[in-house]
Amino acid sequence: MTDPVLYNYDLDIDCYTVRMIAGCLGIALELRNVDMFPGNEHLSPEMLALNPQGRLPVLVEDSLVLTQPLSIILHLAETRCPEHPLLPTDPGIGARMLDWMTFAAREMGVAGAARATAMLGAPGDLDALRAQARRALRLVDDHLTLQGFKGLGFVAGPEVTLADLMLFPPFALSRDFGIDHDAFPALRNWARRVRKTKGFSTMPGIPDYH
Amino acid sequence: MSINGWFPLALSDAITAGSSAGAIVKGLEVVVWRDDAGNAHAWEDRCPHRGMKMSFGFVRGDHIACLYHGWQYGVDGQCQKIPAHPELDVPKSICVNTYGAAEAGGMIWAALGEAGDAPTLPDATAVRSLYIEVPLNTALAALPSAVGAKGFTPEGPVARLDSRWGMLLVGLQEIGETSCALHIAVAGRATPETCAQIAMAAARLRDDVEAGVAA
Ligand code: FES
């Protein structure tokens, strides 16, 4: 199999999510860097032909073109390393993982929008986006608090799964759109555990522990 | 504004060895951290070099390394090492402002200003900290009915409530005029189920009072 091609912008939160998770899964990607800001290259005719939504990341593998982080991550994991420990074997834990991955894609999407508005000049009502992002982060913090009473350290169960890795970037980058980590004790300690995942990597705005 | 007294910053459980967090008391920014030996510390959340928040940095054994340029500060707040000048004998004047720290009732406390004696509280099981975007008094007024108590006994920055789950100790942290944190612990030992019920009641309280303020 040749390496899948990822159209990537290093500072985009969703591109980071895909790169970081591919790294944790041990999957090599061929990166094609797209100058999203300030170049707006993701809106060029060539890129719009590939993804009419005008967004990154885009994964291309032979004739397959995928445009959503959730489908990109699941496709990579299921076709290239279905036995990987980041994919739970227990059906209940697997279902919870998918539930939280969908939450990450749908409810946490506001974090990416808030960050793009705050940092990259994207249009949007920053106060409203920030309030929605805070609400979504609180739902995860509340959930992790309850998981903790059951002795479970991660969103789907006792071990880290793809869902935790997908939820990590919006929390780790929340200061970029004006939400501090002070008010999320459960997320803070969970993030320390998530960082220990083998193959984990950071991006600008997420300090390496040195 | 002068701030005098002992103030709760976090639940003891929430600050694990080798970690740190930021906490604001009436606008004053504090970093609370725990060294690898298990001792809790409370400092002004400000690096003497260029003012970076110390809570953004990393705890390494018995010191914090600032995120910005990596200056390292020991448990006494003294700068020990400046990585860009490893040979330098660091002047004693480079020192983070430190506060007294204590642990009581399942919480970590900081002594700010003229603080007096550290609080004495019964042993307790930490439940959760709740961060609410309303004035402290608004949250406090709604607290008894949320936990099935008739009222509360204030003891400085702690409220004691005779709740349906037993005696609750709630540490009161006024962050600013419109936000606060409640650090909730239950006296004695509590089962995980009890803790989960208290935590859920607390989250409902937060959502209700915020909705009430917005309405
Ligand atoms: S600001 Fe802390 S080391 Fe420079």
Domain locations in chain B?
5-112, 124-214
Question: What pLDDT shows up at residue B1?
Answer: 53
Pocket of ligand 1 contains residue B69 by CB under 6 Å? yes
Q: Could you give the C-alpha distances from B119 to B8, B35, B102, B109, in angstroms and in order? A: 10, 22, 8, 8
Radius of gyration of chain B (CA): 18
Residue B113 banded pLDDT, cuts 50, 70, 90: very high
Say what the ipTM of the complex is.
Answer: 0.94
pLDDT for residue B215? 59
Question: Which token pair is B6?
Answer: 């002992």
Q: Which fold has domain A5-80?
A: Glutaredoxin (3.40.30)
Domain(s) of CATH 1.20.1050.10: residues in chain A: 91-194
**Residues of B in Cβ contact (< 8 Å) with A192:** 16, 19
Specify the domain boundaries for CATH 3.40.30.10 within chain A: 5-80
- Provide CATH code, domain B5-112: 2.102.10.10
B199/A183 CB distance under 8 A: no
Strands B28-34, B58-60: pairing is unpaired
Averaged pLDDT of chain B? 95
Cα separation, B46 vs B60, whole angstroms: 17
pLDDT for position A2:
86
Under the banding of pLDDT at 50, 70 and 90, the label for residue B214 is low
Where would I find the H helices in chain B?
136-146, 192-214
Tell me, in angstroms, the distance from the centre of ligand 1 to residue A22's CA: 34
What architecture does CATH give domain A91-194? Up-down Bundle (1.20)
The size of chain A, in residues, is: 210
- Decide if A185 and B11 are in contact by the 8 Å CB cutoff: yes
Q: Cα(B43) to centroid of ligand 1, in Å?
A: 15
The verdict on a CB contact (< 8 Å) between B19 and A189 is yes
Chain A interface, best mutation among B11, B56, B129, B174, by max A CB count within 10 A: B129
Mean pLDDT of B2-20: 94
CA triple A108-B29-B54, angle to 5 deg: 80
Closest CA to B56 of A153, A157, A174: A174
B17 Cβ closer than 6 Å to some ligand 1 atom? no
Residue type, B167: M
pLDDT of residue B155 exceeding 90, the answer is no
Q: What percent of chain B has pLDDT over 90?
A: 91
- Of A149, A181, A210, which has the smallest distance from its Cβ to B195's Cβ? A149
- Does the beta carbon of B52 lie inside 6 Å of ligand 1? yes
Sort out which chain B residues have CB atoms less than 8 A from A180's CB and list them.
22
CB distance B47 to ligand 1 below 6 Å: yes
Task: Mark yes or no for CB contact B70/A210 under 8 Å.
Answer: yes
> pLDDT (tens digit, 0 to 9) for every residue of chain A, 210 residues total?
789 999 999 999 999 999 999 999 999 999 999 999 889 999 999 999 999 999 999 999 999 999 999 999 999 999 999 999 999 999 999 999 999 999 999 999 999 999 999 998 888 999 999 999 999 999 999 999 999 999 999 999 999 999 999 999 999 999 999 999 999 999 999 999 999 999 999 998 888 765
Contact B193 A149 (CB under 8 A): yes
CA distance A145 to B191: 14
Q: For ligand 1, what atom is nearest to the CA of residue B71? A: 3
Ligand 1 close to Cβ of residue B79 (< 6 A): no
Output the CA torsion sign for B11, B13, B14, B15: positive
Indicate whether residue B71 lines ligand 1 (CB < 6 A).
yes
Helix axes A69-80, A162-172, angle to 10 degrees: 140
Which residues of chain A have a Cβ shorter than 8 Å from any chain B Cβ? 142, 145-146, 149-151, 180-186, 188-189, 192, 207, 209-210
Q: How many helices (H) and strands (E) does chain A have?
A: 8, 4
Chain B's closest residue to A180, CA to CA, is B22
Q: Which residues on chain A are in Cβ contact (under 8 Å) with B16?
A: 189, 192
Q: What is the pLDDT of residues B78-106, one digit of tens each?
A: 999 999 999 999 999 999 999 999 999 99
Q: What is the pTM (predicted TM-score) of this model?
A: 0.95
According to the CATH classification, is domain B124-214 in 3.30.310.220? Answer: yes
